[in-house]
Chains A and B, each alone.
Chain A
Amino acid sequence: MQAKKRYLFLLSAGACLVLLFYFGGVQLPASGRNRHDRSHNGYRPDQPWPHFSDPLQQFLPWDQLDTEEYNIHISPRQKRDVNTSVYKGKRCRMDSCFDFSACKKNDFKVYVYPQQKGEKISESYQNILSTIEGSRFYTTDPGQACLFILSLDTLDRDSLSPQYVHNLKTKVQNLHLWNNGRNHLIFNLYSGTWPDYTEDLGFDIGQAMLAKASISTENFRPNFDVSIPLFSKEHPRTGGDRGYLKYNSIPPFRKYMLVFKGKRYLTGIGSDTRNALYHVHNQEDVVLLTTCKHGKDWQKHKDARCDKDNAEYDKYDYREMLHNSTFCLVPRGRRLGSFRFLEALQAACVPVMLSNGWELPFSEIINWNTAAVIGDERLLLQIPSTVRSIHQDKILALRQQTQFLWEAYFSSMEKIVLTTLEIIQDRVLQQESRSTLMWNSHPGGLFALPQYSAHLGDFPFYYATLGIKPYPKFTAVIHAVTPLVSQSQPILKLLVAVAKSPYCAQIIVLWNCDKPLPAKHRWPATSVPVIVIEGENKVMSSRFLPYETIVTDAVLSLDEDTVLSTTEVDFAFTVWQSFPERLVGYPARSHFWDSNKERWGYTSKWTNDYSMVLTGAAIYHRYYHFLYTNFLPASLKGMVDQLANCEDILMNFLVSAVTKLPPIKVTQKKQYKETMMGQSSRASRWADPDHFAQRQTCMNKFASWFGGMPLVHSQMRLDPVLFKDQVSILRKKYRDIERL
């Protein structure tokens, strides 16, 4: 027993010793050794980051904060000057190669060099120039200009191309305003040529900015150059086709998952990716077709797959594939960008980019992840599984975004050029620039002008995105053109009726009458402030000026002879709160295509649908005042002022162009102005037979400027829920509307 216990005891003692040596003994020498050699003993490298218990120093000692005095160093002004002199050429940035002082405060003007005789200009470049000349940025005075555009065609700098302009170098140097390219913008679609397709333009661009297609991230100078899409000669100048997406089918998959049809170069730059496409082609839902046929001597480079590929290539119709595929592959060609990109975008076929190093079009402002799949050429084989892994909700969103972007920035040459200019303007004006949200959501940057407000909530478009609501009151703007002679004039009744609305914040009377302002006491006493503004030049468009006195989001625009009851106003305003981006009005008009005369027709007949509401009585967001005044060209506004007519049509064109939706007609007690108006002087305006013909002319003129017909028809009218129902009138909130 004793012995047994003793052994047990010895055993436990031994165990303790073993433990001691195993854990203590090993670590003790190791921690000593660690200081001297690289042994990893006891230090497990592949474990999570250990919790160090030493008191560690801060990376930025407090005292360093104070010693980092800037005072001792060179003046910041000098430092800025150093930067501007050092960073030139490939390292140009706005800070170093752009003269901000040339851009007068809040004014971004663009000068186009006069075209020289005998200088050949391609149609595309001509379109670019005329777009700029027709834009609100254009100035003929180089002294006012912030940005200069050459009248020398720089679009095609492929020296093998027939469009290539020779001797550009000397021609450019001889321009007296060239100033080494400072504040110049150069448009370019093609540069370099076979075999290496460099991005060199073949002349010294100095400090000029590039708006270039197929630009690589390597050559792209961020926030200085602008990457533009590659567009074809046939790309429309204005307007442009809408996207092909007509409806959002569920599930959002189309016949093909991924398609491509294009040339294969066999050898040379950019050929690898297209040569490898056949690995992924499965003949079913992933159809990637290439042809070796291009150029005269393709047979020379022909490889083993060519005949098979060519045969397969001819079996499929490109357009059919484009319209019936969920994703469209956009691999690089010889150059980084290809026409496939815009084609896919328009066709609502989500582009799958395979063009490493391509700085995507307008990458400065567009978040392409929301409309395209940015693939990697190196991971070609993963592409099918990648696109298959994309959730259908995401596909639905990607597809809609392709359409938004196409229509907002790409569908016409004009949009591409204006977007380029707006991007540069945003850089120049800085304080008045668009946020990413404005560029990437409906209606897009061309319609959302940052000069209006820095606050997203001031626009009618972002309420839902920001989770806010418009201000629940309106400002009435009454357009007065006749002198105030009697107390029974309609304008006074209107004023009283509108002022009674609980939603009315204030009333502005715009005095566009030749007679002097009536005395203050002539206006009826109302519970809301009445502000009388004397129109400066008394023109029609002044009713849509963005008056600073308008503090509410909603504007109720009124003619002086409009007859409205308080109830009608109240109801229309509650409707507007649900549709703050649209025009909400009472009398409606319609347009139609007159195929005999091949032009747009205007009708004021009672029809089953409408596409305009008259702005003699309409509620809309005050932003449209700003847009009307600042977005529309002087030519259209001038026409309106000259005719003293069509201002409402123009407003309807504008709002529908922005929203892509029809206006909203709400119910009205007495239906049409023409029938109810008797003697008032303004009635003559509507009775005038010229008046109607003018409106017809206006429509066509406007449509040509907008590059298409933006108006959209609607077949419905919004009425109060219990409108003309056979229920007790006492139940009805808007009972006055049905009383005649």
Chain B
Amino acid sequence: QQCVNGPGAIMCASGKYSSRGPALIPRMKTKHRIYYITLFSVVLLGLIATGMFQFWPHSIESTADWGLDRRSVHDAPLIRLPVANPIPERGDLSCRMHTCFDVYRCGYNPKNRIKVYIYPLQRFVDEVGVPISSTGLSREYNDLLSAISDSEFYTDDVTRACLFVPSIDVLNQNSLRIRETAQALAMLPRWDKGMNHLLFNMLPGGPPDYNTALDVPRDRALLAGGGFSTWTYRQGYDVSIPVYSPLSADVELPERQPGPRRYFILSSQTAIHREYRAELERLKEENGEALLLLDKCSNLSQGVASARKRCYKGQVFDYPQILQESSFCVVLRGARLGQATLSDVLQAGCVPVILADSYILPFSEVLDWKRASVVIPEEKLPEMYTILKSIPHRQVEEMQRQARWFWDAYFSSMKAIGMTTLQIINDRIYPYAARTYEQWNNPPLVKWSSVNSPLFLPLIPPRSPGFTAVVLTYDRIESLFRVITEISKVPSLAKLLVVWNNQNKSPPEDSLWPKIAAPLKVVRTKENKLSNRFFPYDEIETEAVLAIDDDIIMLTSDELQFGYEVWREFPDRLVGYPGRLHLWDHEMGKWKYESEWTNEVSMVLTGAAFYHKYFNYLYTYKMPGDIKNWVDAHMNCEDIAMNFLVANITGKAPIKVTPRKKFKCPECTAIDGLSLDQTHMVERSECINKFASVFGTMPLKVVEHRADPVLYKDDFPEKLKSFPNIGSL
């Protein structure tokens, strides 16, 4: 069908002709031959003519797009509006989502995404055939609708739609005939008092009083408007959108490093009221070079786009490039509150200084404009210079970066504007799945480098629930029993969980286990995997977990109890005993594992470490890449992986407690206890490099401190110390 529908139809038909024709024609009688040739020519000509007729106006200029589904807006059905057709009511100022929006149409859906339907294009004319709009479908509105139609919000099923977008272009009120446009809206088949309809308007109002919202009566329809004032904006219902700057598509301004620029303040708008221009000029007189006050050029040669030039006393500047030369750029209200200049200014990474009283900034429902702009009351224009001078440099730089990011993400194209609008409405309908402040406001660089710890509340949990000790064991029963006996002496032990990792052998009988006060549970695993030690077992009922190897018998009860106390003060960190370090090996150009006794620590061994149960859940279900399997396959580095995971999500270093530097274990030999030897070190270094590449960064943080009891090694009677028995190396 594609082939026939497009200009390719001709190719198809003629292909058929040439493959059969030449073989047949010579054998036919002349009479028939003439007849057939004539018939064929007619058919062929007919086909060509059809093709030409269908595709003539553009087939030449867009030959590259042959095969695409190409149409003309002139194909859209023409609709005549009788004069007597009803007009919707003016927008209801008290409309809110719960009163004027039919939420039943959106329904519950697992993706939490609204469905948006776009009405097919129609061309409305009044009774005498004059169109309702002087521009018809504008390029920008077409871009916007295509973007919606290409997006995941789109549905072509009108019955399943939650939001309806008319194809009537009301972006610019100036080009509209208000009454007729309103009639056209009311004629939409699903209009239903404008319920769940979304209109996009960027230039509201008209002379002389320039209202701040679209004047077209629109019943209950939602309005995504550029230039709302606080009096027309229905908070939580309308969406304030930017005025798109057509320059965005034409001019590419590469992102510039934030920092001081040649000019401090730049005013580039051409349609500034003379009162304000006079005030700006006064500022310019007072502060000289720091201000650049541009206006339109009076004597440009023919052929130069006046929109792309600005002048100051005969000196010509390229616009918008000149915006990049200034730290701050003035965005003054014009007849309307919303100004396309704002978009240019943001694109240039210039901090907008917005002087438009009562203006609702674009997307202010989700964007934190305080971080990207300076809003000054119009009345304070004369104080602008002083106000801006008082802003710290670092803040200016952050605002410059933020301004550019806002442009990139939310202003740069009609698509960006449309998608942001839909996302905002989507967030209202599914508020529990809404995008977060950070998602909206943090530029990618900040998103990348910042951390939002999942345990962010400063909370020191009470001592009483204690901790659950999790011992991973295979078959070293004697050593295991000694560990159990030792740990049982720790006052805050709540439960002991033995993870039996040996599938070939059953754990000893109940009667053989050491008798301890705390409950003891054994869980048997299905596979002998290292990651079993970090599984979030339901049996772990405390938030504190002590992971401990079955050969760690040297830790004293005081040491363990103290470790738990320290963990309570840092519940979002790994709290462990021997510390280790990662180093950058300059010669090899890669990371190296260091177990020497250094002054620094970036990891703690999990042979005995306290941590929050949440990290078990993270390790098991959220470990990036193939790290978990890799660890299980290599039977090594599970502790390094845990250190990476915790540091990456919290941005914090682990806490090393007490002087302990190594886990001596008298019973185990070098090989079976994963002890230190050359290959072991090489393997551990490999782990660090592997993990760093999977995480895409080196999350580990290096610190130079460890935690000791307050009176550790103080000249003070030992018996009065809470933790007198702290072991040594």
A214 in the interface (beta carbon within 8 A): no
Report the minimal beta-carbon distance from B328 to chain A, rounded to whole angstroms. Answer: 13
Known A-B contacts A71-B273, A464-B451, A609-B710; the reply to A28 vs B394 at CB < 8 A is no
A437 in the interface (beta carbon within 8 A): yes
Bound Cα distance A330, B432 (Å): 15
For A458, what are the chain B residues with a Cβ–Cβ distance below 8 Å?
392, 394-395
A722 in the interface (beta carbon within 8 A): yes
The answer to whether A48 and B156 have CB atoms under 8 Å apart is: yes
Report the minimal beta-carbon distance from B459 to chain A, rounded to whole angstroms. Answer: 7
Bound Cα distance A521, B620 (Å): 65
The answer to whether A75 and B235 have CB atoms under 8 Å apart is: no
Bound Cα distance A42, B371 (Å): 51
Q: Which residue of A lies closest to B19 (CB)?
A: A12
The answer to whether B148 and A386 have CB atoms under 8 Å apart is: no
Report the minimal beta-carbon distance from A147 to chain B, rounded to whole angstroms. Answer: 18
A20 in the interface (beta carbon within 8 A): yes
For B104, what are the chain A residues with a Cβ–Cβ distance below 8 Å?
378-379
The answer to whether B706 and A723 have CB atoms under 8 Å apart is: yes
The answer to whether A247 and B543 have CB atoms under 8 Å apart is: yes
The answer to whether A16 and B16 have CB atoms under 8 Å apart is: yes
Task: Pick the residue among A65, A93, A217, A578 that contacts B231 (CB under 8 A).
Answer: A93
Q: Which residue of B lies closest to A78 (CB)?
A: B275
The answer to whether B69 and A51 have CB atoms under 8 Å apart is: yes
Known A-B contacts A59-B202, A75-B273; the reply to A712 vs B460 at CB < 8 A is yes
Of A115-123, A193-201, A490-498, A657-665, the one with at least 4 CB within 8 A of chain B:
A657-665
Task: Pick the residue among A59, A390, A731 that contacts B599 (CB under 8 A).
Answer: A731
The answer to whether A12 and B20 have CB atoms under 8 Å apart is: yes
The answer to whether A91 and B27 have CB atoms under 8 Å apart is: no
The answer to whether B710 and A608 have CB atoms under 8 Å apart is: yes
The answer to whether B457 and A404 have CB atoms under 8 Å apart is: yes
Bound Cα distance A493, B25 (Å): 116
The answer to whether A607 and B710 have CB atoms under 8 Å apart is: yes
Q: Which residue of A lies closest to B158 (CB)?
A: A46
The answer to whether A455 and B392 have CB atoms under 8 Å apart is: yes
Of A183-191, A395-403, A530-538, the one with at least 4 CB within 8 A of chain B:
A395-403
Report the minimal beta-carbon distance from A532 to chain B, rounded to whole angstroms. Answer: 26
B523 in the interface (beta carbon within 8 A): no
The answer to whether A70 and B271 have CB atoms under 8 Å apart is: yes
A382 in the interface (beta carbon within 8 A): yes
Tell me the chain A residues, 218-238 only, with Cβ under 8 Å from chain B: 218, 222-223
Task: Pick the residue among A9, A71, A665 that contacts B36 (CB under 8 A).
Answer: A9
The answer to whether B236 and A217 have CB atoms under 8 Å apart is: yes
Task: Pick the residue among B24, B148, B709 that contacts A608 (CB under 8 A).
Answer: B709
The answer to whether A357 and B600 have CB atoms under 8 Å apart is: no
B215 in the interface (beta carbon within 8 A): no
The answer to whether A248 and B459 have CB atoms under 8 Å apart is: yes
Of A31-39, A130-138, A271-279, A512-520, the one with at least 4 CB within 8 A of chain B:
A31-39
Task: Pick the residue among A19, A50, A59, A435 that contacts B171 (CB under 8 A).
Answer: A59
Known A-B contacts A247-B459, A248-B612, A249-B543; the reply to A75 vs B706 at CB < 8 A is no
Task: Pick the residue among B39, B68, B461 that contacts A247 (CB under 8 A).
Answer: B461
For B713, what are the chain A residues with a Cβ–Cβ distance below 8 Å?
723-724
Interface centre among A440, A466, A719, A727, by most chain B C-beta atoms within 10 angstroms, is: A719
Bound Cα distance A80, B230 (Å): 13
The answer to whether B358 and A95 have CB atoms under 8 Å apart is: yes
The answer to whether A661 and B460 have CB atoms under 8 Å apart is: yes
Bound Cα distance A248, B618 (Å): 14
Bound Cα distance A46, B156 (Å): 5
For B445, what are the chain A residues with a Cβ–Cβ distance below 8 Å?
467
The contact size tier of chain B is: 35 or more
Of B46-54, B82-90, B254-262, B686-694, the one with at least 4 CB within 8 A of chain A:
B46-54
Of A173-181, A365-373, A692-700, the one with at least 4 CB within 8 A of chain B:
A365-373
Tell me the chain B residues, 670-688 only, with Cβ under 8 Å from chain A: none
A487 in the interface (beta carbon within 8 A): no
Bound Cα distance A25, B613 (Å): 72
B597 in the interface (beta carbon within 8 A): yes
The answer to whether B462 and A246 have CB atoms under 8 Å apart is: yes
Q: Which residue of A lies closest to B201 (CB)?
A: A59
For B135, what are the chain A residues with a Cβ–Cβ distance below 8 Å?
57, 59
Interface centre among B148, B207, B244, B707, by most chain A C-beta atoms within 10 angstroms, is: B707
The answer to whether B454 and A59 have CB atoms under 8 Å apart is: no
For A246, what are the chain B residues with a Cβ–Cβ distance below 8 Å?
459, 461-462
For B16, what are the chain A residues with a Cβ–Cβ distance below 8 Å?
12, 16
Bound Cα distance A165, B540 (Å): 58
Tell me the chain B residues, 23-56 only, with Cβ under 8 Å from chain A: 24, 27-28, 32, 36, 39-40, 43, 46-47, 49-51, 53-54
Bound Cα distance A725, B43 (Å): 100
A245 in the interface (beta carbon within 8 A): yes
For A42, what are the chain B residues with a Cβ–Cβ distance below 8 Å?
75
The answer to whether A245 and B710 have CB atoms under 8 Å apart is: no
B71 in the interface (beta carbon within 8 A): yes
Task: Pick the residue among A64, A379, A659 that contacts B174 (CB under 8 A).
Answer: A64
Report the minimal beta-carbon distance from A350 to chain B, rounded to whole angstroms. Answer: 10
Known A-B contacts A49-B145, A379-B108; the reply to A17 vs B392 at CB < 8 A is no
The answer to whether A435 and B368 have CB atoms under 8 Å apart is: yes
For B77, what are the chain A residues with a Cβ–Cβ distance below 8 Å?
34, 37-40, 43
Task: Pick the residue among A44, A389, A430, A578 that contacts B703 (CB under 8 A).
Answer: A578
B146 in the interface (beta carbon within 8 A): yes
Tell me the chain A residues, 289-303 only, with Cβ under 8 Å from chain B: none
The answer to whether A49 and B149 have CB atoms under 8 Å apart is: yes
The answer to whether A430 and B140 have CB atoms under 8 Å apart is: no
B416 in the interface (beta carbon within 8 A): no
Bound Cα distance A718, B708 (Å): 6
Known A-B contacts A49-B145, A91-B231; the reply to A2 vs B27 at CB < 8 A is yes
Bound Cα distance A74, B579 (Å): 73
For B9, what are the chain A residues with a Cβ–Cβ distance below 8 Å?
19, 23-24
Q: Which residue of B lies closest to A453 (CB)?
A: B392
B584 in the interface (beta carbon within 8 A): no
For A262, what are the chain B residues with a Cβ–Cβ distance below 8 Å?
none
For B310, what are the chain A residues with a Cβ–Cβ distance below 8 Å?
none
Known A-B contacts A39-B77, A661-B458; the reply to A721 vs B705 at CB < 8 A is yes
For A161, what are the chain B residues with a Cβ–Cβ distance below 8 Å?
none
The answer to whether B459 and A733 have CB atoms under 8 Å apart is: no
For B614, what are the chain A residues with a Cβ–Cβ distance below 8 Å?
248, 250, 396
Task: Pick the residue among B453, B659, B721 that contacts A723 (CB under 8 A).
Answer: B659
Task: Pick the residue among B118, B230, B333, B455 that contacts A400 (CB under 8 A).
Answer: B455
B661 in the interface (beta carbon within 8 A): yes
B565 in the interface (beta carbon within 8 A): yes
The answer to whether B140 and A59 have CB atoms under 8 Å apart is: yes
Bound Cα distance A1, B340 (Å): 75
B62 in the interface (beta carbon within 8 A): yes
For B465, what are the chain A residues with a Cβ–Cβ distance below 8 Å?
247
The answer to whether B437 and A250 have CB atoms under 8 Å apart is: no
The answer to whether B36 and A13 have CB atoms under 8 Å apart is: yes
Task: Pick the residue among A40, A53, A720, A726 that contacts B71 (CB under 8 A).
Answer: A53
The answer to whether A455 and B273 have CB atoms under 8 Å apart is: no
The answer to whether B452 and A51 have CB atoms under 8 Å apart is: no
Tell me the chain B residues, 604-618 only, with Cβ under 8 Å from chain A: 612-614, 616-617
A73 in the interface (beta carbon within 8 A): yes
The answer to whether A19 and B13 have CB atoms under 8 Å apart is: yes
Bound Cα distance A737, B145 (Å): 70
The answer to whether B456 and A400 have CB atoms under 8 Å apart is: yes
For B72, what are the chain A residues with a Cβ–Cβ distance below 8 Å?
52-54
Bound Cα distance A349, B202 (Å): 43
Bound Cα distance A358, B78 (Å): 45
Bound Cα distance A27, B53 (Å): 10
Q: Could you pull out 9 A-B pairs where Cβ atoms are within 8 angstroms? A: A12-B20, A43-B75, A49-B118, A71-B271, A389-B432, A396-B454, A404-B457, A578-B653, A661-B569
Would you list the 7 A-B pairs with minimal beta carbon distance, nearest first? Answer: A467-B449, A24-B50, A49-B149, A455-B395, A467-B450, A45-B120, A59-B138
Known: A9-B20, A722-B599. 13 other contacts (CB 8 A): A20-B47, A24-B49, A35-B78, A49-B150, A52-B142, A56-B73, A70-B273, A93-B230, A386-B432, A442-B456, A454-B370, A715-B566, A717-B709
